[in-house]
Structure 1
């Protein structure tokens, strides 16, 4: 009996230990897919990922919404030839994931070429079983 209890406890604990890395990998893959969507101009993916009240704050205090982010891609105002995250770390607080890292983006905005590297913080929340982006912040080096 004691052996069965120990085995059951071990199975439960090992299952919980494996859940955290799987959840971390899931969120990191969403971040990579998010970058790919920006690079491809995949508006449909962004509409599914970002909540309608999504807010992105930039270094200078600019505020972009899900609608403005999507509109920039739809209209061609911004086009990315590269959009990559690196050095990402994820922390969980219940059904909320905070992701920090660096983003390197290369492209053209309103006819002007750019090549930027920023530190970012993204906040994702699991809503009805699906991870959704609710907020982000990006700061240029020195900002």
Structure 2
């Protein structure tokens, strides 16, 4: 017969609440990461009446200082065609180019980007934000 008492008690840590919090944080960061688009330059886009979405293969941004960007890479408008052709050659079967331009920018540059994209065989869309 074993009459000795156990001298050591095992310490228990209850982690149920911690698991719930970690699960909620994981879901939050997953949802936020799908909403974030790292290839966007901040521009003040003009307002439109309808909201049409296009699959964004390539995003070209033109800021208020008339500086052009493909994704995050700054380019000059003179080298636009060669850079755009390089990016479109890596892309999908039916590429599309979305142009985000600031309202204070020169819209002649937007037209140049749209014409260059059409010349290279891509679908070109100028992005406007809905009211």
Report the TM-score, using the length of structure 1 for normalisation.
0.33
* Larger RCO: 1 or 2 (CA < 8 Å, sep 6+): 2
Structure in which a larger fraction of residues adopt strand: 1
